[in-house]
Amino acid sequence: MGPIYVHIITKAINGKEYRTVVIVFEINEAEIVIKAQGGDRNAFNELVRIHAQGVLNVIFRMCGNMQLAEDAAQEAFIRAWLHLGSFRVDREASLRNWLYRIALNTATDMLRKEKRILPGQLDDFYLPDPRLSPEGVYLQSEQTALVQAAISSLPDASRAVLVLKEYGELSYREIAEALDIPIGTVMSRLNYARRLLKEKLEAQMIVLKEAEHV
Amino acid sequence: MSNHVTEWLNAYLDDELKGGRLHQVQSHLAECQECQAELKSLQSLSSLLRDGPVPEFISSERFVAQVSLRLPHKQPVLKKRSALEVGWWLIPVGLLILWVFINTSALVSRVAATANEFGLLRAAPAWLVVDSSQGASWSETLGEFGLLNGNSLEWAEFTETFTRNKLPLIIWQASIAMLYLSWIAILWARHTPPQQGQFLKS
């Protein structure tokens, strides 16, 4: 565990002053990785805790099925545990990128094995926006399902780049590192994936409105 | 407007452009409505993907517990350096040692030959002393038969001596230098070593 920072946030509500104390633990991931490489299961569990949601999200966007995503994410972390010795802590590569790479490969393997992409019934897994009316919730879930179906229909290689960019929030350099491909290939695959996605969504009558922040 | 910047719009949207290319795209966008519309469409697509509802994943705590149950008891073993890898790093060391050995041998041999000429090394072993008198034996033979004479004989003797005594050393050194440079080139090409797992290449 690294240094600890304490922030005191003061807010005045209805004339009364409230203070919130926020304690921030700066996690030294490299130290945890080294411990896990030495066989410390608790340290590895800590790494799983840190990266679970990110890995789940990337795999889910890759395969479009919640159950498959959970299975693949578990499998990915087990593979990571078994091969953690080959991860070089001294290199600049981040563990997140390394895990995303394993996660994507595991998802692709499982999809090929299972041969199922089941984007249906996605609404069971999404938290609806509480501000929306029942009709709005229905329309939103329909749109979400169509978007996920469009993503799932992309070729594996382009889908992986799109998912890492849009949902993994990786830079082009990080994507190139995670997938072991040149940055030029990242750009061309991303261009291709977005163009294909636009065509598919426009064909599904999803109007791409002007972004609000333009 | 010609020379559209469509192929760079994704990188521009993702804030991945720098320097001259960024300036080029910005200047073009200021004037081209077609590219502006394309950029807006890409921004909308990105918003549609990112601003959608968040899936309700299993909690991290529960997920950790599930992974922990399935985790094999085998401890990950730190990958030891393979013999191949050690051999790879020994290549430049070996080349340098070879270079030093060849140059030292040549130097010792020359010193021994000089000492021999001055009669200082009467009992020196034959292998240590380069017999420069044997350096141009073919040219001398041709001279004896009258096939070479004057300047042509001198030139032939010089060439033969050079070919016999100096050329092998030059070829050795050039070969070592080439191998060393090749090793550096391969090292540079392997700058980003592959990581674990299969690769999504297609």
Least CB-CB distance to B11: which of A127, A187, A212? A187
How far is the C-alpha of B24 from the C-alpha of B176, rounded, in Å?
Answer: 47
Query: Nearest-CA distance from B94 to chain A in Å?
Result: 27
Query: Token pair 């999504």 is at which residue?
Result: B200
Query: Nearest-CA distance from A101 to chain B in Å?
Result: 8
Taking an 8 Å cut-off on Cβ atoms, the answer to whether B48 and A172 are in contact is no
Contact status, residue B113 vs residue A119, Cβ threshold 8 Å: no
How far is the C-alpha of A151 from the C-alpha of A122, rounded, in Å?
Answer: 13
Contact status, residue A135 vs residue B48, Cβ threshold 8 Å: no
Handedness of CA A62, A65, A69, A75 (dihedral sign): negative
pLDDT digits (tens, 9 = 90+) for B119-174: 776 666 666 555 555 556 777 777 777 777 777 777 887 888 778 777 888 898 89
User: What is the DSSP code (8-state) at residue A124?
Assistant: G
Contacts of B193 in chain A (CB under 8 A): 88
Collapse the DSSP code of A38 into the 3-class scheme (helix H, G, I; strand E, B; otherwise coil) and give the result: coil
Q: Does B191 touch chain A (CB under 8 A)?
A: no
Contacts of A98 in chain B (CB under 8 A): 195-196
pTM summary value = 0.60
The candidate with the shortest Cα–Cα distance to A61, out of A153, A171, A176, is: A153
Size of interface A-B (CB pairs under 8 A): 173
Q: Residue A57: enclosing H or E segment and its boundaries?
A: helix A41-63
Contact status, residue B17 vs residue B11, Cβ threshold 8 Å: yes
The candidate with the shortest Cα–Cα distance to A126, out of B8, B70, B103, B51, is: B51
Collapse the DSSP code of A154 into the 3-class scheme (helix H, G, I; strand E, B; otherwise coil) and give the result: coil
For A43, half-sphere exposure in the C-beta direction (CA atoms, 13 angstrom radius) is: 19
How far is the C-alpha of A149 from the C-alpha of A117, rounded, in Å?
Answer: 9
Scanning every residue of chain A, which has its alpha carbon at the shortest distance from the alpha carbon of B191? A91
Q: Which residues pair with A19 in a beta bridge?
A: A10
Q: Best interface-test mutation with A: which of B5, B8, B49, B58 has the largest number of A CBs within 10 A?
A: B49
Contact status, residue B141 vs residue B120, Cβ threshold 8 Å: no
B95 Cβ neighbours under 8 A, 6+ residues apart: B176, B179, B180, B183
Taking an 8 Å cut-off on Cβ atoms, the answer to whether A93 and B202 are in contact is no
Query: Token pair 């990110």 is at which residue?
Result: A54
Taking an 8 Å cut-off on Cβ atoms, the answer to whether B76 and A179 are in contact is no
pLDDT digits (tens, 9 = 90+) for B8-24: 999 999 999 988 889 99
Taking an 8 Å cut-off on Cβ atoms, the answer to whether B66 and A74 are in contact is yes
Which amino acid, A47?
A: L
Angle at B64 between CA B62 and CA B67, to 5 degrees: 110
Q: Best interface-test mutation with A: which of B69, B78, B195 has the largest number of A CBs within 10 A?
A: B195
Least CB-CB distance to B197: which of A69, A105, A140? A105
Q: Which residues pair with B55 in a beta bridge?
A: A126
How far is the C-alpha of B50 from the C-alpha of B22, rounded, in Å?
Answer: 24
ipTM score assigned to the predicted complex: 0.73
Taking an 8 Å cut-off on Cβ atoms, the answer to whether A49 and B60 are in contact is yes
Contact status, residue A196 vs residue A154, Cβ threshold 8 Å: yes
Task: Say what the pLDDT of residue B83 is.
Answer: 73
Task: Say what the pLDDT of residue A214 is.
Answer: 37
pLDDT digits (tens, 9 = 90+) for B72-112: 876 655 555 667 778 888 898 999 999 999 888 888 888 88
Scanning every residue of chain B, which has its alpha carbon at the shortest distance from the alpha carbon of A92? B192
Q: What is the CA radius of gyration of chain B?
A: 36
DSSP string covering chain B: --S--HHHHHHHHTT---HHHHHHHHHHHHH-HHHHHHHHHHHHHHHHHHSSPPB-PPPHHHHHHHHHHH--SSPPPPPPPPHHHHHHHHHHHHHHHHHHHHHHHHHHHHHHHHHHHTTS-TT--TTTS--GGGTTHHHHHHHHTTSS-HHHHHHHHHHHHIIIIIHHHHHHHHHHHHHHHHHHHHHHHTSS---SS-----
Q: Does B202 touch chain A (CB under 8 A)?
A: yes
CA B83 to mean position of chain CA atoms: 20
Contacts of A85 in chain B (CB under 8 A): 76-79
How far is the C-alpha of A193 from the C-alpha of A205, rounded, in Å?
Answer: 18
Q: How many residues does chain A have?
A: 214
Q: Does A78 touch chain B (CB under 8 A)?
A: yes
Q: Is the pLDDT of residue B26 over 80?
A: yes
How far is the C-alpha of A159 from the C-alpha of A190, rounded, in Å?
Answer: 8
How far is the C-alpha of A159 from the C-alpha of A67, rounded, in Å?
Answer: 19
> Over its length of 214 residues, how does chain A's per-residue pLDDT go in tens digits?
555 566 677 777 777 777 777 766 667 888 899 899 888 999 999 999 999 999 999 999 988 888 889 999 999 999 999 989 888 876 656 889 999 999 999 998 888 877 654 544 444 445 555 666 666 666 777 788 888 888 988 998 999 999 999 998 899 999 998 888 999 999 999 999 999 999 888 876 655 554 444 3
Contact status, residue B50 vs residue A166, Cβ threshold 8 Å: yes
